[in-house]
Amino acid sequence: MVELKEPLATLWRGKDAFAEVKKLNGEVFRELETRRTLRFELSGKSYFLKWHKGTTLKEIIKNLLSLRM
């Protein structure tokens, strides 16, 4: 279950929040293979979105070797 705060709770009621997030447009601050950071506006306010798409094998190996897992 996903819990959203206002105004997203009202705006996306009955909708798939993850699908709605994918539709957001805004100013991209950083875009890498597995993540994206962007600023978007909603109801006159600015918000930041940090979207993570999983991880890479390289990242897993790096974390294992540095004893982070």
pLDDT above 80 (res 43): yes
Please check whether residue 26 lies inside any domain of the structure. Answer: yes
Distance CA 68, CA 56 (A): 15
Q: Which residue shows structure tokens 């996306």?
A: 12
User: What burial class does residue 66 get, using C-beta atoms within 10 Å of its C-beta: 0-12 exposed, 13-18 middle, 19+ buried?
Assistant: exposed
Reported as a pLDDT band with limits 50, 70 and 90, residue 51 is confident
Of 61, 47, 37, 35, which Cα lies nearest the Cα of 5?
A: 47
Distance CA 35, CA 68 (A): 20
Average per-residue pLDDT for the chain: 88
- Host domain of residue 47: 8-65
Please check whether residue 49 lies inside any domain of the structure. Answer: yes
Please check whether residue 32 lies inside any domain of the structure. Answer: yes
Please check whether residue 36 lies inside any domain of the structure. Answer: yes
Please check whether residue 55 lies inside any domain of the structure. Answer: yes
Number of structural domains (the chain) is 1
pTM for the model: 0.64
